[in-house]
Structures are given as C-alpha cells and as structure tokens.
Structure 1
Amino acid sequence: MDKQVIAIVGPKGGVGKSTISANLAATLAMMNKKVIAVDLDLSGANLHTFFGIKDTVSLDDFILKKVSGLSSILTDSGIKNLKIVCGVSNIPGVSNMSEHQEMRLVREVLKLNAEIILLDLAAGSSNSVVDFLFFANKGLLVTTTEVNSLIKIYSFIKTSMYKKLLFYFKAKGTSELVKFIEDAMDFENHPQIATIEDLFSQARAINAPVTESARAFIANYNPLLVLNRVHTPQEASTVGNAIKGITRKFLNINCDVLMSISEDADIRRSLAHSAPLVTYNTASAFSREIKQLAMKLCPG
C-alpha cells in the first residue's frame, strides 16, 4: 500500500497544532482514507484527549520495549478508518531521544498499515522534532497571526534549514563544513551571517563543490504553512505576504500559506464532546476549511 506521511508542527505552543491534527485526521478518515495518527509530542502528548481516549496502551509501552512494534498499541478512535497511537506520559527525558531511538521509532512508523500516517509533533525546534519532520512526505507548520508566533515560525524555518544542511554535510563526510554549520547555528554570536547567501558565501570558501550541491539540495525546501485562528481574509493575506517576503529575502525559499483556518468559538467547546468538531458539526467554518486542507493534501 502506498502511504503518505504528514507531519504537523507548531513552532510555538498554544497555536492549535493538536486541534488541527485531530480534526485533519478525522476528516481524512471520513474521506474513506485509512489513517493512523501518531502522537509524537514527546513533551506534552494530548492527541488522545480530542477523542475521549483514557487508560490505554501508548508510546510508553513501545519505548520501554513492552511491545515490539507500534501496531501492537493502536487504539480505536471511535471514528471509522482512524486509529491512534497515543503519546508518552510517564518517561522522564524522553524528549531528548538518542539517534538510535529515533531511527527505531521511524522504522516502526513506516511499517504501519495505512494510506496516511499523520504525526502530531511537539512545539519548538528540538532535534527530534526536526528529524521527524524531515522524514515525512509533507510538513505542515501551524501558526497564528500573533507577532510572537510569526517570529517563532521564521526562527523555526531558519533553524530547520540549517539542520537540513547539517545532515547533508554529514552525509557528504565534510567535517569542516559540519563544524562551520554547527558554529553558525549559534545565531546570536554570528550576526554577520544574516542571510542564507551569507552562509553559502562563507561555506564556499571551505568547500565550493559540496556547497553548490547543498544549495541545489536546499532549494527544494518548501515549508507548508497553515495560519490558524484567522479573523479576516485581509489578515490572512497580510500575514501570508509578510512571511513569504521575509523568507524569500533572508532564506531564499518559497514559503506560501497552504490554508487559512478561521477563528471558531465552537472549537473551544469541542473538547467537552470528546470528539473532533468535524465529526459533529460539518457546517462550521472550521470544519469546511479543514476539509479544504485535507483535499489539498490528498486530492485523490
């Protein structure tokens, strides 16, 4: 079975990332897609709460090796075609996974039998978040229109680009470029590297051929933005253009807004229903827009 892995991340907490994840997973399942949603928020798992799931097996059991694979801890969501892998709750320090632990988890995620695997990642730009984002087919960056959220989204995109280059240079075995990128990621102490072109200019002096191949590699990086809790179309347009402008100017990439999701008072009441809003109020603005997002991601 061909499968698509969609990762959802919120560079800042409180932007509605898990709300989007739960409702998108439910919508895709209602479109007759076989979906598994995996809660990979290793610092604050809560995806299960959107489905009223309590006292069940979870990622804890996999990490502690009580079960051999993720298929053993799939939980029924109460929605046809949708199963959940509930997140961790009782393992101190799990957010700082080793590379070996990450790869074990990634391998098991890819073994899951589904058309669409949706990953609800943690907020921020920790190594594990960026690693999980990179192995997905598509990555959605959820933000609001608040100034602080926009600052965080730009910082996340910049950090993830640098980490993508770091992985590339490691794969090429270029230790001097690896050290250069690691040093450059200390942004405050390297104000002279203001743009990605500044970075490439200095990297070229170290190893021009590998730097040029890295430039071609990173040119395909195209983050997909979802603006959440938008009040007006004009607000969405203004914020979208601002993000597009700043990422083009400083990072030389295209960063378009894939979808704008309206502020909807019903969302705040949906947790009381122990079910995603899209399952019982398909007429709401939020539900209609989530359906549009689902169709953009999976048009077939």
Structure 2
Amino acid sequence: MVLNESLDKKIIPIAGGKGGVGKSVLSVNIALSLAISDKRTILIDLDLGGANLHTVLGMKNTNPGIASFLQDKDRSFKSLILDTPFKNLQFIPGDTLSYGMADITEKQKKEILFEIQDLDADYIIMDLGAGSSFNTIDFFLVSNSGLIITTPQAGSVMNSYTFLKNLTIRFLQKAFASNKNMEAYLKKNIKRMLPGTNLTLAHLLHEIGLEEPETRDKALAYLEVLQPKVILNMMEEEEDFQMAMNLSSLVKKDLLIELECLGAILYDKGINDSLHNRHPFLLEYQDSLTAQQIFRIGQKIAQSRNFPELPLDYSEYKDSFELTQIETENDFEIYRQIKQSEDQASLPEGYDLEQLMEIIEKQHEKIQELQQTVKMMSLGQKGGPGSMFNF
C-alpha cells in the first residue's frame, strides 16, 4: 500500500458501494479540477468490464487500453497513456469491449497495480468498479486514501458501509498474512459477522485482545493507516447531509476507522445533459453551484501537500464533517437565493422591473459573498484561488 502523505505522487482510487452514485462523473471532473489547478494528472478507467470514462471525457473508444496490455505482452503499460483535449490531463482507457475484463486473475491485478505505481504524474485518479468485489477492494487498497462516493439514499449509504467493512477485513487479512494464528482467527470469525448478529470488527478485535493484546494493538495500528474520504453526491435537501454523518459514526464504532468528508454535492440535471453532449460537466456548466462544489473538492486535494491530511483550519471547526456541514448550509443558502431570483425573474407582466433588477443585484452580491466565504473556510486561507478555469 502506498502512503500518499509520504509521497509527492498521489494515487487516489474512487469507489462506490453500488452503481448509479455518480462515481465515474466525479472521477472525471475531480481529475479535471486537478488538471485545471496545474497538476499533472492521469485518469485511469479501472471499472473493468464496464469502462465508460471515455464517454464522460468526450473521447472515442478506439484506443488500446488495459485489456490490450494484459493480452499483448509486447505492449507496455505506458503506451496506453492518451492525451486528452484538456491541458495536464491524460487518460488510460479500460477496454470495455474486451471479453472477460471483469474477472481478471490475481496475477493480472498485481501486474496492473505495479505499473500504476510506476507512472509519472502529480495525481493518479482511478475510477473503480461498483460494489465490493476483491478486485475492486484490492485496487482501492493501492493507497491509504481512496474516495467513497455515496448518495443520501439509505441503500446507497449501507452499501458504502458494506464496502468499508469488506475493505477493513481484506486489509487486515493481507496485513496479517504471515501471522498464522491471526489469519486463521479472521478466516473463521468473519463468517459470524452476519446481518442481524450485531457482531462487528470492533467486537472481534476486542475478543483477540483478551487472548493476544499485542496482536490487537498491532491491528489497531494498521487500521490507523487507512484514511478514506467520503463524498456525498446528489443532495436535494439540506438534511441529506445527516446521512454522511451517520455513516461516519457507524464506521468509527463498528470498523474502528476514521472516515473524513471531502465534500457534499447538490443534484444537478446538467450532469445528464453534459453526458449526452459528451463534454465534462465542470467545463460545460462551470458557473453552476454544483461545478463550484466539485472544484472545491479538487482544491482541497490540490492544496494538501500531505494528502490525505486536509488543509483545514481547525480553529474554525472541529473536523472535516463540521466544515462540510458549514459548506452545505452556505451552498443551500446560495441555492435558495438563485431559485428566488429565477422565480422573481418569471413574475407576470406589470411587475416593477426596476425593483426586480435591484433585488437581483443585491442577491448577486450576496451569492458572491457567500461563495467567497465558503472558499475561504474550505482552504483555511484569507483569500480563495483565482478563476477556476485559468489554464
């Protein structure tokens, strides 16, 4: 496992406990936000068997990808790297049309992981398959700071919890592969962690500690290495953010890992329009509130020299969830101001146009003020970055 905080090159896998949570869209747009920030970024489509990042990028599926590398021993992994239409952003496709890509072997997986760690970039963004297969989890474990995408729906949040549960168990199994007693204990007892039993990883480690306290302490030290981040996507109500906080509490209590929040994003129908137009949302709808939220997430990553440590001002808030809650409250205030302006702009004929323009101007000033406040709080700085689209 790569410890991102100790390296200049950051490898960031992006996963989702289920499909349909916006994982691929966010992978592309977060990678693009880093490229816009003048970071050399490589985006890799590792949703093997369902690769589609080329469509989100607006590129044709005509180039060799990861399947070609696995099937042709004379082809180098670096030869798969494509330039995109966007400065600082390169792309490695996944070959969605190749047979059997969803079921690669352990040897092939290790070969891909080895090659990824040898790439030259500031950031490597990996879009993984949905769900909790061993292949997806092992790709996620290439570094200690992957991103989990979830929506506020209960099913999506619980699938994210399942992903993190499988992740921690798989991580400990690999960490204790040379400890036969611990390996056998985990293999035997994880079967007891069935729905409805209320038996958690925390309970298992407590049991181990009664017999082997040193082994338990070592396991807890290993778990501290994991620093996953969650992004709550497709919010429609301000209260939706509570679901992310619930997930964090459950993960801390049951799995003994600290989940941080990288941001929350409002639902935007422009996402579907951008997919239809085959043009990245961040560029096509750059003035939208949702685009600003995605770019803010990218800035948190880009501004962190020691990512996954976030560039947060803890004199203002206690943790990343409190910050994101503040951001969310401000974002919904902006959203309400925008909606109010739109509603007033559609008032029937006869309404005082001069009064309307005065209201809109005041609201525009308020929106700009709130956006600057959010930017400052996110980055812990007195001033935000310049225009997000200065290439």
TM-score by length of 2: 0.71
Seen in structure 2, the aligned counterparts of structure 1 residues 101 and 179 have a Cα distance that, compared at 3 Å, is: same
1:133 is aligned to 2:145: no
Where do residues 1-300 of structure 1 align in structure 2 (5 Å cutoff)?
2-54=8-60, 55-170=62-177, 173-187=178-192, 194-204=199-209, 207-236=212-241, 238-299=242-303
* 2:102 counterpart SS class: coil
* 2:39 counterpart SS class: coil
Seen in structure 2, the aligned counterparts of structure 1 residues 247 and 5 have a Cα distance that, compared at 3 Å, is: same
TM-fit CA distance, 1:191: 6.3
- The amino acid that maps onto 1:153 is S
* 1:186 counterpart SS class: helix
Answer yes or no: is the 8 Å Cα contact 2:37–2:302 preserved in 1.
no
- The amino acid that maps onto 2:217 is E
CA distance in 1, matches of 2:122, 2:53: 20
Q: Deviations over 1:218-247 (max 9, x none)?
A: 1332320000001133321x1122112222
RMSD: 2.0
TM-fit CA distance, 1:159: 1.0
Answer yes or no: is the 8 Å Cα contact 1:57–1:75 preserved in 2.
no
TM-fit CA distance, 1:188: 5.5
Q: Which moved more, 1:225-234 or 1:215-224?
A: 215-224
Answer yes or no: is the 8 Å Cα contact 1:184–1:190 preserved in 2.
no
- The amino acid that maps onto 1:249 is K
**Equivalent residue, structure 1, for 2:318:** none
CA distance in 1, matches of 2:267, 2:10: 28
Answer yes or no: is the 8 Å Cα contact 1:70–1:112 preserved in 2.
no
TM-fit CA distance, 1:9: 0.3
- Number of residues paired by the alignment? 297
- The amino acid that maps onto 2:265 is I
Q: Which moved more, 1:223-232 or 1:192-201?
A: 192-201
Answer yes or no: is the 8 Å Cα contact 1:69–1:108 preserved in 2.
no
Answer yes or no: is the 8 Å Cα contact 2:270–2:281 preserved in 1.
yes
TM-fit CA distance, 1:6: 0.8
Answer yes or no: is the 8 Å Cα contact 1:176–1:206 preserved in 2.
no
TM-fit CA distance, 1:135: 1.4
TM-fit CA distance, 1:190: 8.6
Q: Which moved more, 1:105-114 or 1:34-43?
A: 105-114
TM-score by length of 1: 0.92
Seen in structure 2, the aligned counterparts of structure 1 residues 193 and 235 have a Cα distance that, compared at 3 Å, is: closer
TM-fit CA distance, 1:196: 2.4
Q: Which moved more, 1:81-90 or 1:59-68?
A: 59-68
Q: Deviations over 1:100-121 (max 9, x none)?
A: 2122111111222211110000
CA distance in 1, matches of 2:144, 2:160: 20
CA distance in 1, matches of 2:74, 2:273: 36
Where relative contact order (Cα < 8 A, 6+ residues apart) is larger, the structure is: 1
Q: Give me the identity figure in percent.
A: 29
Q: Which moved more, 1:255-264 or 1:182-191?
A: 182-191
Answer yes or no: is the 8 Å Cα contact 2:144–2:228 preserved in 1.
no
- The amino acid that maps onto 2:243 is V
Q: Deviations over 1:165-198 (max 9, x none)?
A: 101110xx11232122123333555965612231
CA distance in 2, matches of 1:241, 1:116: 28
Q: What runs of 5+ residues in structure 1 fail to find an aligned partner?
A: none
